[in-house]
Amino acid sequence: MGNRSDEISKIVTRAIIHKQLLPGCKLSEQTLADIFSVSRAVVRQALIRLSEDGLVTMERNRGAFVSKPTYREAVEIYDALTILEQGVAAQLSGRLGAQGWAELRHHVELQHKAVEEKNDQLSDQLGSGFHEVLVRLSRNTVIQQMHAQLIRRTALLRSLVSSRFDYCGLLHDHGVLIDLLEQGKIAEAQELIAVHHHNVVKGYLMDDEPQPEIDTREALSRYVSQEA
C-alpha cells in the first residue's frame, strides 16, 4: 500500500523495535508531523495503525504513547507465542522438506556466530528471527501475521527490562527443536517450545517483577466509575 500513514507507522514500528522509542514515550502529533513533514491528519492515521497493532496506546485528549506492557501481558504474549509455535511445529513435523530443515539449521548457524562474537543486538534479532522462520515455513500468512505482531510486542518487553539472557541455552534449544521435529517427536518438541518461552519470561522477571509503577488513572478507574 502506498499510503503515507502506512509508511510512517512502519518507520515508527522499527524505531520502537530497535529501542529508539521506549515504552511510555509520548508521541506528539505535531512533533511527528514536523519530523515526517506531513499533516497532523496523516500522523493520526499512523498512530491509529500503531495502536491497532498494540505498540502504541492512545488516551483520549492525552495523546499517544509507546505501549508499556504489564508483566501479566508479557506472560500472555509468550503463552500465545507458545500456542502458535506448538501448533506450527506439529504441522511442520514430518511434512517439511529437506530445504526447510536446512533453512532452519542455517539460521541457527548464523545466530551461533553472533553469540560467539558477543553481538547481543544481532543475537537478539536472530533469536526472534528463528521463530519467525519456523512460522513462515508453515506457509500460512494469517498465522504468520499474528505471530509477527506478537514478536513485535516482545521487542517492547525487551526494551522494558535490562535482562541478560542465556543466549547460549536459548540457542541450544533451537537446535534441539529442529532435531526433535525432524524425528517426528512432536510432543517433546512442543514441551521444549513451552519451556523455551517460559525461560525467556523468567529472564524478564529478574528486574521487572510484578508491577514497576502503577498508573494512578488505571488504578482508580474502578472507583471513579461508580462514584456518587
Partner DNA sequence: TCTGTTAAAATTGATATGCAATCTGCACCT
Partner DNA sequence: AGGTGCAGATTGCATATCAATTTTAACAGA
Residues that bind a copy of itself (CB under 8 A): 1-3, 5, 41, 44-45, 48-49, 52-53, 58, 60, 73, 76-77, 79-80, 82-84, 86-88, 91, 140-143, 146, 150
Q: Does 162 contact DNA by CB under 7 A?
A: no
Which of 42, 108, 171, 192 forms a contact with DNA (CB under 7 A)? 42
Q: Does 37 contact DNA by CB under 7 A?
A: yes
What amino acid is encoded at 147 in this protein? H
Q: Select 28 or 199, whichever has its Cβ closest to DNA.
A: 28
Please check whether residue 47 is in contact with residue 59, taking contact to mean a CB–CB distance below 8 angstroms.
Answer: no
How would DSSP label each residue in 197-228?
HHHHHHHHHTTS-S-SS--HHHHHHHHHTT--
Radius of gyration (C-alpha) of the chain in whole angstroms = 20
Per the listing, cell 537446535 goes with 175
Q: Select 82 or 111, whichever has its Cβ closest to a copy of itself.
A: 82
Angle between helices 71-92 and 167-182 (to 10 degrees): 30
Q: Does 46 contact DNA by CB under 7 A?
A: no
Binding segment toward DNA, per CB under 7 A, in 37-45, 135-143, 169-177, 186-194: 37-45
